[in-house]
Structure formats: structure tokens, C-alpha cells
Structure 1
Amino acid sequence: MSEDWKKKKIDNFVILNKILGKGTYGTVYLGYMDTGQNQVRIAVKTVPMDSVKQSPQILNLIKRESTILKAVEHPNIVRLYNANRTQNYIYIFLEFCPDGDLRKFMLSKKEKHLSELEAIIFLKHIVEGFKELFQKKIIHRDIKPENILLSNGIAKIADFGFARVMEVEMDEPGKFSRNGTPIYMSPQILRGQPFSAKCDVWSLGIMFYEMLYGRTPWQAESQIQLEQLILNKPLKFPTKPVRSQKVKELVAMMLQIEEKDRLNWQQIFENQVIKMNEDMVRQNMNEIMKEDPMTKSMSLNKIYLDQYKVVGYLHTKIEDYREDSKNDLDGLKQMFDEENPDLILSQYQKEMKRRESFQKFYTYYLYERNVAFFINYTQLRIIKLQTFGDITLVKEQFLQLIFMLARNQLLHLDKINSALNSNKHDQFDQELWGRFIVSKDCSRLLTTIKNDILIIKEVFIQVREKCPQFQQFFDKIENVKDFLGQYKQIISKAIETLKAASTNSLGKDIYSGIYYLKICLNPYDFFKQVDFDFNAFYEETENANLDELLNLI
């Protein structure tokens, strides 16, 4: 396309001269689709016909991608709306994913890798997409971070140019062309041998390893060297960052060199790592219903904490995402009749500014919420230590400590809840804040905070009933400042008691408990940035050895 064009209209699609990215054989532009009821932002892949004439294979790839994407519809697969061809271009109208690709997300991390929890969440999204592909007998053949797009916390499989429908059974090897990206190719594709749908299991295993460690397990300067390394250099897992045994076992089973030894897709779908949350919660709930009220409330708190210890980018629900996608822009009702594309681009820029501001608000209050849940995590750590006899605080001191931690959590969450229900904000632009508090982003955040409060309040009530004298003591404190003074005194006293009783022979759990209590004294002195990576913090601390914890204390 020439440089000076501003807007093109094809059927019910509008293409704007706003480049989103460039691929191997085309350019991706911003666009909009008129559904008849609303306007949906889309991505438009454009391929010059000159390129197609020079390389007829490109047309075959485009046809194959369009055919396959028309056959699938799943929240974890990028959606195809339509494809069109003019004299000069081929246009592919695709779902817009505003948050870039998985590679970009990984590079945004300080250590260039994800926490184990984040990696598993993405893995689950991708596996859900592969369930749909498996049913349709489709293999992808080019799974890599660049081909996993992100949209509001949802990972989506993209770029089906090398995909094909299997004419044989999915686990039955066939002779197919050698397509894909070498570093992610299975050994069978590298060697030009017949392969099955397990080629995608290998590619996903390589990418999962990369999410966990920030690099692929084998690195080479040529395809021949890569093949030799895979065949002759056993798979190894770095000692840092520390990863769970079940995750390493899954990766190892996905990266078996011979297909007969490698997991198939049915085994992936049923793997413990993929299914563990729902199975564990179901099992735990059955046990919890037999417990007394106080133990039950603390157990429910633990289950809730295990799932929502850190809430952030990856906790968007697919149902919420679908609802947002129905009408993702306001104020563009006349867009398709608008003759001034500059105005449309201006509206897009305003929307991006609004999105950036909303993300700023959202990030700030998620940060505040995650600080509160760090206190909750510390409380549960102390309960666990006391229950198993690792620490022996006298009953009154123990209950007083739990009471004060629970109360401080509620103060944090009540403050957030109050702010999100207020029409005014002292720190943020008033107009943008007014739009934010009526948005779905704010509604989702409020729902999270209210659920947090319900869970934590139940624990607080149960502790209060066990020790009413603490509530009477608390009622005498006239303001938050006085409470925090008493709170710090009680925390400091507990730290000194635990330090005096601790010995190296007790293991590291007691020292991590002391470390967490020290942070609880002044959490904002430790969690200084609103973009603080809580997942990485928990992972690093939980996997620290005894000497490292002693240095922290």
C-alpha cells in the first residue's frame, strides 16, 4: 500500500493506516468491523498480490489458514472474521489482541521468564485451544511465543499458515512437509521423518520450558547443530529458578525424542498440572465441610488464597472477555459513514489513552489488593506453623497475632472498596476516573475485592468469637493510626518471640514466617512499586534456602 492512504473500506470492514505489526509475507493494520449492532476493533493482515505472484506458495498458506480458522471457534484461538481479495491485495480480517504476543510479555519481565504459576496459566489456555484443534484433527506446526497472542489476560493460538488437517489419526505418523521454526521443531521434522500431532506437543514443551527458564533447552547456530544437540545432549533443568517436580516431569515427557515415548494430546489434557486446580478444590471442599466453623473458615481462606494469592493480568475470566468483545468501543456509531479518517484515528488514540489510564487505575488497586493478601498469606503461614508445632506461641499471643493480621487486611480492602465506590479521586484525572468507575474493568475489580472481604471477614469473625477481649480492645482504638501502632507492637513482639525460640534444626519455614512478619510491619517499604511482581517474590522466597532466608532476616 502507498504511504499516503488513510482509510479503506471493504464490505463491512474499515482498514486504517495504522500498522500493528509486520509478518513474513504481509503487514497487519488496525481496522474495525460493523456487526450491525456495534463496532468491533480488528486486526487486518494484508498481503500484496505482487508477493503472491512471486511466490505461489504464499497463496496456498493463506488459503489453508483461512480454511482452518473458519472451521474453529474457541476463546483460546484467534478468530477469523472474513477474508477478501482485490486486484492488488489479499485481506484477512482477524480478532484484535491488544496486548501483543507471549514473547513481548516474557521480555517485559525482569528475568525474561515467567513465574511457574504464570507459565501454567498460559499453558492451560493453550491446551484448551488444542482441545478444539484435536477434535478437528488439526495440527499447527509452528507453536512459538510469537504465535501466542494475548488479549486481556487470555492467551490465543494464532498464525495457522503452516497448519493442516490430518487425513490419518492424530497419533499416526504421516509424511508432511518440513514447516515451522527450527528451534521449536520436533526431531522428526528436523530429520525429515514422518510425524504426527505429537509434533505440536514437542513445540509446546519447548515453549513451556522457555516460559519457565527464559531460554530454550537447546540453542544452536544451525539446524544441523540443533539436531545433533537434541540427539546427544540430555535435557537438563537449571537449578535456578526453582521449579516443582511435577512441572519438570511434564516438560520431560513432552520432550521425549522418539514419538512413541512422548505424551499424546489426550495424556496432556488429563495431566495433573493441567487439571490440578479443579481436582484439588473439589477434594478439599469435601473435607472442609466436615470441619468446625473456625477451622472451616480458615480452610476456605486457604483454598481461596491458593487460587487468588496474586490477582493481576492473568486473572481475566473468558466469560468476562467475551462480554467485553461484544462492544469494545463507544462513540463510533457513525464511523463507517465518516469521511474523515483523521478523526477515526484520533478517536483510536483517545481510546488507547483511556485504556492506558484504566490500566493505571487497575494496576494501582490490584497492587493495593495484593499487599493486603500478602498479609493474609503471612497469617496462614503463621497458622500452619502453629498447627504443626513448628512454633509454640502461647494461645493468647497466637490468637492476638492472627486477629491483628486479619483486621489489618480488612482495613486495606475496605479502603480499596470505598475508593472504587467513590465518584471522586484526589490522585487521578477526575473525568477519566468517572469513566473508569462505571467500566467493566472496575466492576470486575470490585467483585474481586468484595469476594476477598467476604473470605477474610469470616476468618476475622471466627477469631473474634474465640477471643472477644481483643474486639473490646480494638473498639477502644479511635483511629487507624492508633490501631497501626498497636498492630506493630504485637507483630514486633511475635517476631522477637519466634527469633528467641528458633533454631537452624527447625528448617526454613519458621524463618520465612519471621521474614514475612517483618515485611508486614511496613509492607510499603518493601513493595515499593505498583508494578511489583508478587508472583516472582513468592516464588523466590518460597524456594530460598536457609542461608538466604537468614540473610533476609
Structure 2
Amino acid sequence: MYQELIATQQIINNYLLISQQLVSKQGQMDQKVQKSKIKQILTYVFSEDRLLGEGAFGVVYKGEDKNTKQKVAIKQISQSKFQNDPIVLKNLKREIEIMQDLKHENIVQLFNFTYTASNVYIILEYCDGGDILSLMKKNEGKRFSEEIAIKHFRQITEAFKMLHSKGIIHRDIKPANILLHKGIAKISDFGFARMLDQTNLNSQQKLTALGSPLYMSPQILSQEQFSSKCDIWSLGVMFYEMIYGRTPWTAQSQIELLNKINSQPLQFPSDVISSYNTKDIIVRMLKVQENERISWEEIFAHPLLSEEDQYVLETAVQNNISHLEQFKIIGLFNNNNQYYEFFQQQSQLQQAQKNQCILIDCVVLFHRNKYVLFNILASHICLLKLRSELPVSNEIFLSACFLYLKLFLGQIKSTAEALKGNEIFDPNFDQQDFQNYKNSILFQQSTSLIEQDFNKANCLYQQIISKIVNRYQIQIQQQQPYLSGEIQLLKQQLSNLYELDEQFMLFYNQVMNQFISAIIEKNNLLDIEHKKKLYTILKYCFIVQDFDAYFQFDASNPNIQQFLSFYHHNDQISFQELQKEVDIQIEQLLKSG
């Protein structure tokens, strides 16, 4: 009985202890509810448990307009901040003054502001996507794809068109100050902004060194005079970071950062592929000397911004060229691992049968390596045009690229279909030899490569077709008798994307003569470096018109040495030698009429 009483007392004690804990927890919860009670400022309501962010000067809550139910961001700044630091009040007044006058899709909107005895409240546009810094940290490599980075860069630049027109410099452009709402980038935090007279926008002035050091221009870091171009530097650093996942220069102090900027040239990471126009604008935005740095007007007119689909075309070109650089030549001598693996796997075949399989593969890859020249030519024509280094009209450029790519894709497609079909690929081999080859790893690897060739080139081909259709849309859609023969032929070729018939060859010869003539006509006006690029294009143009004069398959020596020698010669040739070779071809062309 005594033990039962002790047990009962223990149960009662435990119950009382649990009750006390529950009462204590309830009291704590009541205090939290009290602390997080809903507050109202003007017509806006918010609760302190809906915190969006916190900084040195205040906190930001998510709120709502009671009347319209519109979501807003409410920045709360304690009045004590102004008493401790009068500059904070000065910057706040300037921020409100500037933002009241800014109405733009790519700038966070100021809706209202008010104050109480304790706090100042600024009612801002709510952005549901967070800031660019936070988003980059979540991504692999802490960066965006180039396509996304360019999209946001363009949006931010649109905002700067308004800021520049109003004589406003921001002075604190960085990823944390760019917010996203439904995928649209918006500049925020104008606390360090300054309004200048229009005549002083590009003239240097002695202003307070404000902003975030990693994104500060070298003029601000060294406490020199600076102009509105300080924002160009900051935006260039941020654009670089969005694409490559880090800033161009890093340091532990402002002095170290400035020393690195002045002593270490701008470099681009080799592990991230980016387009020519992207690198070009970054290089020009990050010129150390302000007088060498690109202006806002030049940025607004840059190809990266002036043509919406420029990035898509350039990406297709770069991806295709990267593939070609890796697989320009494939075959015996540079693919020995493939043939070793073949010998290991095909132990059931006789030596003579294995040799025939290798010979078939060499024939396949010989034709593939030969056709790749069309692809190389088209890709480099595109690249020169994108860099404004091709002195031909857009019509001739688009037609030439279209035809060279169609030749490549048509030949590659025909080869792939022949390989996968039941017919013998080459009459020099019998059915059993061909079947042995189709059962081998050589067939699998070569057809896989040809498929990659086709897919990479086809992406570029589709972009060229899209540009042609957009350019000629009216003429192509109109069924009118006055349409030129060129348009009629182009229309026909667009309806048969991979078919190489007599009509194709007629159109091909016509356009190639126009293309070559246009380059020859303008070539004398250019400098030597530019001329060499165009002479290389002309050399390829003449080669693909007469493949057999340069490349012939030799069954007794079926290696890729002739291709290796060809590319090595082109890499090492001087401009004088190149010019001499091409001038002979030009002379023959002119004589033939």
C-alpha cells in the first residue's frame, strides 16, 4: 500500500509539472501573438512576423493595402537612426525625392511614405522573386545561364535609360539591390542615389564614396572624381558575376581591390562559354579609365541590346563552333582508343573482316570530315557577321549561311540514312562486310557523332531560317507575279529543308557568286587583320566548290593525315601566302565570267 501511495504521488507531481510547463508555454505564445499583432500604417497593414529583410538602417515587412488588397513591402526605419547619424536622414530624404519621380517597370515603385514618433515608414512595390544575389547563391555555380543573365541585364539597362535621362546616378548597383517580380528585374534601394544636372552627367565630380566596395568603380575606390559612368562599372561587375559566378576581382580590403584592378587585366573563365557580344560589352564597361569606358548611349545601342534574338543566334553559333573544335577531324590516328576497343570486342571476326570494318568506318568518317567544311564555313560567316566584320548585305549573308548549312545537313542526313538502311553504303564492300560493321562499336560511335553533328548544326540552321522568314515574310507569303526569281527559289528551298536537288544547286551557285563577289569588292578597303579573316572565308568558299582537288580517299592509306595537314597549313599560313593562294582563285573566277 505504501508503494502504491508513492507511485500515485509521483503521478500527481508529474501532472503538476506538465501543467506548469503548458502554462509557461501558453504565456510565451501569448507574448509572441502580442508582439506579432497586426499593425496599420495609413491604409496598409502588416505583422512583424512577415519579415522580408533586415539591414543596417531598418527592416522590411510584407504588407497589404486594406482597400485594394495589393501586396506591398513596408520599410520601417527607427527615428533613433536619424538622431545617431544625420546622414541617414539626408539620404532617406533624397531617396524619397528621387523615387517619387520614377515610374518604370524595371524600377521598384514608391507608393507612399509616412512617419510616427518612433519610426519612418516607406511603402514600396512588393517583389515576389527575391533579389538576384539570393537567387544566384541557389544555382549551380552561383550564377545564371547566359540567356537569363542577358535578360536581366537588358531589363536593368531599360531602367537606366530613364535614370540617365533624368540625370540620376544610383551609386550602389549590386545583385542584392536588384529585385525580381514575376521574372522582371527591378532596381531598388536609392539610398545612395544622386541627381546631377544633365550637363554634368559625363563630367567628373567629387562625390561621397558610397556603395559596396566589390562593385565600386576604381575612381570611387581611389576617392577621385567620377561621373555617371560609376554605375556603368558597377553594372558591368554585376553582369560579369551573373554569368561567371564571381566578381572579376576579389580582395579583403578596398586598397587590395584597387591594386588588383589596376594590375590584373580582366579575364574570362574558360569553363563558362559566353558569346562575343557579352564579352565585348563587359570589357568596354570595365575599362579602368573613365574616358575609355563605354558611355550609356553606346550601351543602349550595343548589339547585345539592339536585337532581341541576337543572343539566341550567337549561342547557336558558339555551341556549333565548340562542337566543331572538339570533333573537327575524326578517324584513324586520332581515334585509336576506339579501334583498340573494337578489336577487343569483335574477337569472333577474322582479321580480314576486322580490317574491312575499319576501312568502312574510315570511308564514313572521310565523307563526314569533308562535309564538316560546309559547317565550319557557315559558322564562321555567322560569327563575322555578328561581330560586324562581314561586308555583305544581310540578304546575301542569310542566304549564304542557309545554303552552306543546308549542304552540310543534307549530306550528313543522307549519310546517316544510308548507314541505318539495309542497302550497302559503298559498292566497294559486300553485304556481309557492311553487316559486320553495323554490329560493331565503330558503327555506334560514328553514327552517334554524325547525329551530334546534325543536331548542333541544325540548331543554327533553324535560327538562320527564322531570320530569313522574318525578313522575307511579306514577299514569301504574297503569291504575286512580280516576286523576283531569288525569292521564288528561296521560298522553294525553305519548303524542302534538307533536300539537295537541281534547283538547290542552281540557287546555291547563284548566291555563292554574289557572296564571293561582295567580299572581293569590299576587301581592299580593310586592314590586314580583317583581310586575313575574309581571305580565310574566301579560301574555304573555293575549297567546298571543288572538294576532289583537295581531298581524296585512299584505301591503301585510309588515315586522316590529309585533313590534319590541311588544317595545320591553314593555322600556320602567313597573310601573304594566304593572299597569294586566294588571289589565284579570284583571278580564275573573274576569267570564267
Tell me, in whole angstroms, the C-alpha distance in 2 between the residues paired with 1:197 and 1:209: 19
Tell me, in whole angstroms, the C-alpha distance in 2 between the residues paired with 1:390 and 1:396: 10
Tell me, in whole angstroms, the C-alpha distance in 1 between the residues paired with 2:217 and 2:192: 14
Whether 2:244 is the aligned partner of 1:213: answer yes
Equivalent residue pairs, number? 324
Alignment of 1:133-282 (within 5 A): 133-167=163-197, 168-277=199-308
Tell me, in whole angstroms, the C-alpha distance in 1 between the residues paired with 2:273 and 2:297: 28
1:47 deviates by 0.5
Contact 2:218 2:261 in 1 (8 A): yes
1:502 deviates by 8.2
Contact 2:409 2:454 in 1 (8 A): no
Contact 2:413 2:454 in 1 (8 A): no
Contact 1:46 1:91 in 2 (8 A): yes
Tell me, in whole angstroms, the C-alpha distance in 2 between the residues paired with 1:216 and 1:390: 44
1:21 to 42, 53, 57: 53
Tell me, in whole angstroms, the C-alpha distance in 1 between the residues paired with 2:122 and 2:458: 57
Tell me, in whole angstroms, the C-alpha distance in 1 between the residues paired with 2:231 and 2:134: 22
Match for residue 543 of structure 2? none
Whether 2:453 is the aligned partner of 1:509: answer yes
The residue type equivalent to 1:23 in the other structure is G
1:500 deviates by 4.6
Q: Larger relative contact order (C-alpha < 8 A, sep ≥ 6)?
A: 1
1:61 deviates by 1.3
| Residues 149-169 of structure 1: per-residue CA shift (max 9 Å, x gap) | 011100000000000101343
Q: Per the alignment, do residues 507 and 394 of structure 1 end up closer, same or farther by CA in structure 2, a change over 3 Å counting? A: closer
Match for residue 413 of structure 2? 393
1:387 deviates by 3.9
| Residues 453-477 of structure 1: per-residue CA shift (max 9 Å, x gap) | xxxxxxxxxxxxxxxxxxxxxxxxx
Contact 1:499 1:514 in 2 (8 A): no
Whether 2:129 is the aligned partner of 1:99: answer yes
Match for residue 110 of structure 2? 80
Does the residue aligned with 1:155 lie in a helix, a strand or coil?
A: strand
1:5 deviates by 4.1
Q: Per the alignment, do residues 172 and 395 of structure 1 end up closer, same or farther by CA in structure 2, a change over 3 Å counting? A: same
Q: Per the alignment, do residues 514 and 39 of structure 1 end up closer, same or farther by CA in structure 2, a change over 3 Å counting? A: closer
Tell me, in whole angstroms, the C-alpha distance in 2 between the residues paired with 1:189 and 1:396: 60
Q: Per the alignment, do residues 19 and 249 of structure 1 end up closer, same or farther by CA in structure 2, a change over 3 Å counting? A: same
Does the residue aligned with 2:201 lie in a helix, a strand or coil?
A: coil
The residue type equivalent to 1:175 in the other structure is K
Q: Per the alignment, do residues 65 and 514 of structure 1 end up closer, same or farther by CA in structure 2, a change over 3 Å counting? A: closer
1:126 to 152, 156, 159: 156
| Residues 203-239 of structure 1: per-residue CA shift (max 9 Å, x gap) | 0000011011100011000011101111111111111
Q: Structure 1 regions of 5+ residues with no counterpart?
A: 282-301, 307-381, 402-491, 516-553
Contact 1:218 1:229 in 2 (8 A): yes
1:386 deviates by 5.3
Q: Per the alignment, do residues 383 and 102 of structure 1 end up closer, same or farther by CA in structure 2, a change over 3 Å counting? A: farther
Tell me, in whole angstroms, the C-alpha distance in 2 between the residues paired with 1:184 and 1:78: 21
The residue type equivalent to 2:120 in the other structure is I
Tell me, in whole angstroms, the C-alpha distance in 2 between the residues paired with 1:217 and 1:14: 43
Does the residue aligned with 1:388 lie in a helix, a strand or coil?
A: helix
| Residues 473-532 of structure 1: per-residue CA shift (max 9 Å, x gap) | xxxxxxxxxxxxxxxxxxx99x998955688xx9973585799xxxxxxxxxxxxxxxxx
Q: Structure 2 regions of 5+ residues with no counterpart?
A: 1-31, 317-401, 422-437, 460-593
The residue type equivalent to 1:165 in the other structure is M
State TM-score, norm by structure 1.
0.53
1:48 to 66, 73, 78: 78
Tell me, in whole angstroms, the C-alpha distance in 1 between the residues paired with 2:96 and 2:442: 66
Alignment of 1:325-336 (within 5 A): none
Contact 1:390 1:510 in 2 (8 A): no
| Residues 265-292 of structure 1: per-residue CA shift (max 9 Å, x gap) | 11111111112226x69xxxxxxxxxxx
Tell me, in whole angstroms, the C-alpha distance in 2 between the residues paired with 1:76 and 1:514: 36
Alignment of 1:50-69 (within 5 A): 50-69=80-99
1:14 deviates by 1.4
Q: Per the alignment, do residues 169 and 499 of structure 1 end up closer, same or farther by CA in structure 2, a change over 3 Å counting? A: same
Percentage identity across paired residues of the two chains = 38
Q: Per the alignment, do residues 45 and 500 of structure 1 end up closer, same or farther by CA in structure 2, a change over 3 Å counting? A: closer
Whether 2:129 is the aligned partner of 1:114: answer no
The residue type equivalent to 1:113 in the other structure is R
Match for residue 90 of structure 1? 120
Q: Per the alignment, do residues 178 and 385 of structure 1 end up closer, same or farther by CA in structure 2, a change over 3 Å counting? A: same
| Larger mean Cα displacement after TM superposition, 202-211 or 170-179 | 170-179
Match for residue 40 of structure 2? 9
Tell me, in whole angstroms, the C-alpha distance in 1 between the residues paired with 2:210 and 2:45: 33
Match for residue 461 of structure 1? none
The residue type equivalent to 1:242 in the other structure is I
Q: Per the alignment, do residues 397 and 257 of structure 1 end up closer, same or farther by CA in structure 2, a change over 3 Å counting? A: same
Contact 1:386 1:392 in 2 (8 A): no
Contact 2:237 2:247 in 1 (8 A): yes
Tell me, in whole angstroms, the C-alpha distance in 2 between the residues paired with 1:82 and 1:66: 9
Does the residue aligned with 1:93 lie in a helix, a strand or coil?
A: strand
| Larger mean Cα displacement after TM superposition, 145-154 or 269-278 | 269-278
Does the residue aligned with 1:231 lie in a helix, a strand or coil?
A: helix
Q: Per the alignment, do residues 49 and 235 of structure 1 end up closer, same or farther by CA in structure 2, a change over 3 Å counting? A: same
Tell me, in whole angstroms, the C-alpha distance in 2 between the residues paired with 1:142 and 1:514: 43
Does the residue aligned with 2:108 lie in a helix, a strand or coil?
A: coil
1:52 deviates by 1.5
Match for residue 5 of structure 2? none
Does the residue aligned with 1:111 lie in a helix, a strand or coil?
A: helix
Q: CA RMSD in A?
A: 3.7
Q: Per the alignment, do residues 500 and 175 of structure 1 end up closer, same or farther by CA in structure 2, a change over 3 Å counting? A: closer
The residue type equivalent to 1:208 in the other structure is F
Whether 2:58 is the aligned partner of 1:30: answer no
Q: Per the alignment, do residues 44 and 511 of structure 1 end up closer, same or farther by CA in structure 2, a change over 3 Å counting? A: closer
Match for residue 348 of structure 2? none
State TM-score, norm by structure 2.
0.50
Q: Per the alignment, do residues 498 and 275 of structure 1 end up closer, same or farther by CA in structure 2, a change over 3 Å counting? A: farther
The residue type equivalent to 1:183 in the other structure is L
Tell me, in whole angstroms, the C-alpha distance in 1 between the residues paired with 2:119 and 2:110: 17
1:172 deviates by 1.2
Contact 2:214 2:250 in 1 (8 A): yes
Q: Per the alignment, do residues 69 and 385 of structure 1 end up closer, same or farther by CA in structure 2, a change over 3 Å counting? A: same
1:147 deviates by 0.1
Tell me, in whole angstroms, the C-alpha distance in 1 between the residues paired with 2:447 and 2:86: 76
Q: Per the alignment, do residues 499 and 90 of structure 1 end up closer, same or farther by CA in structure 2, a change over 3 Å counting? A: same
1:73 deviates by 0.5
Q: Per the alignment, do residues 240 and 59 of structure 1 end up closer, same or farther by CA in structure 2, a change over 3 Å counting? A: same
| Residues 48-71 of structure 1: per-residue CA shift (max 9 Å, x gap) | 111221111111111111111001
Contact 1:19 1:30 in 2 (8 A): yes
| Residues 389-412 of structure 1: per-residue CA shift (max 9 Å, x gap) | 5743339959x99xxxxxxxxxxx
1:39 deviates by 1.5
